[in-house]
């Protein structure tokens, strides 16, 4: 079971490395719910996660997550301690902290440029993360951490990327458009040419033919004359010989 889980993780990590340029150290953004669940399930995130993801891992959080955990007080004191040991990533809510989930979602906006993982038990946040391509999701289920399989959104993104690498979709369209345009311009050109041909090209071809006939007639006439001369001589000779023989 453990091996199978590891195998799935390796496969999924390969997906993110190959298609979304995830590199070590893997940066995992933790929210309060994940820290809380890790504590309850006695999971040593810091020790286990590098082995599971297959590389050095940096645990991160944001100031908004820490603020939220502080505000929730004693029940989440342990979770807060875990979060406080994480590296605090700069979010855009310096003066006006937002909820932990809203903050983490903002961290993976615009194609997740910093290649963050999101580790959460918040189903609502998880669903929102799944709607973005290229954001790996970690959660805890049955006392173990699980890297979620790539979301349909991520798969679709990669598929369009791969097909576009052969011939980009926008280029396909532009090619079609260009062909149509060229087709139209060709048709117009052909029409024009046809109109011209009706009056124009025939004399040209006639001229060429005339030239050819003239050129061909002259030498042939000379040849014929020569042949005739020779023929006449020969025939006369033959005739005279024949006549002589006959006489």
Count of residues interacting with Zn ion (CB under 5 A):
5
Report which secondary-structure segment, H or E, holds 120. none
Is 29 a residue that touches Zn ion (CB under 5 A)? no
- The piece of 66-74, 99-107, 113-121, 137-145 that touches Zn ion (CB under 5 A) is 99-107
DSSP label of 149: P
Structure tokens at 90: 């700069």
- Choice between 82 and 91, CB closer to Zn ion: 91
Interactions with Zn ion, residue window 45-64 (CB under 5 A): 62, 64
Which burial class, exposed, middle or buried, applies to 54 when counting CB atoms under 10 A from its CB (0-12, 13-18, 19+)? middle
- Choice between 29 and 82, CB closer to Zn ion: 29
Q: Looking up tokens 């994480």, which residue turns up?
A: 86
Interface pick for Zn ion out of 46, 67, 93, 153 (rule CB under 5 A): 93
Shortest reach from residue 90's CB to Zn ion, in Å: 9
- Choice between 114 and 224, CB closer to Zn ion: 114
Is 103 a residue that touches Zn ion (CB under 5 A)? yes
Is 27 in a helix, a strand, or coil? strand
- Choice between 56 and 113, CB closer to Zn ion: 113
Strands (E), the chain: 26-30, 57-62, 87-89, 116-119, 137-141, 144-147
Interactions with Zn ion, residue window 119-158 (CB under 5 A): none
Q: Contact, 87 vs 107, CB < 8 A?
A: no
């Amino acid at each position: 079971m453990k091996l199978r889980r590891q195998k799935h993780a390796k496969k999924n990590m390969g997906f993110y490395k190959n298609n979304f340029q995830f590199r070590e150290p893997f940066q995992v953004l933790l929210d309060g719910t994940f820290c809380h669940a890790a504590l309850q399930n006695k999971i040593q995130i810091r020790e286990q996660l590098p082995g599971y993801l297959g590389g050095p891992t940096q645990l991160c959080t944001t100031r908004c997550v820490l603020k939220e955990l502080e505000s929730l007080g004693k029940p989440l004191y342990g979770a807060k301690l875990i979060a406080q040991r994480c590296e605090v990533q700069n979010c855009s809510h310096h003066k006006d902290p937002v909820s932990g989930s809203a903050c983490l979602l903002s961290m993976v906006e615009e194609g997740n440029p910093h290649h963050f993982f999101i580790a959460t038990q918040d189903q609502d946040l998880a669903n929102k993360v799944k709607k973005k391509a290229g954001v790996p999701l970690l959660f805890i289920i049955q006392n173990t951490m699980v890297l979620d399989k790539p979301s349909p959104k991520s798969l679709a993104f990669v598929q369009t990327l791969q097909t576009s690498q052969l011939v980009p979709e926008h280029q396909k369209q532009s090619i079609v458009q260009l062909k149509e345009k060229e087709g139209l311009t060709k048709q117009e050109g052909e029409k024009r040419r046809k109109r011209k041909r009706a009056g124009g090209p025939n004399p040209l071809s006639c001229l060429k033919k005339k030239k050819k006939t003239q050129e061909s007639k002259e030498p042939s006439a000379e040849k014929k004359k020569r042949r005739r001369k020779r023929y006449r001589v020969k025939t006369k000779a033959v005739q005279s010989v024949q006549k002589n023989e006959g006489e």
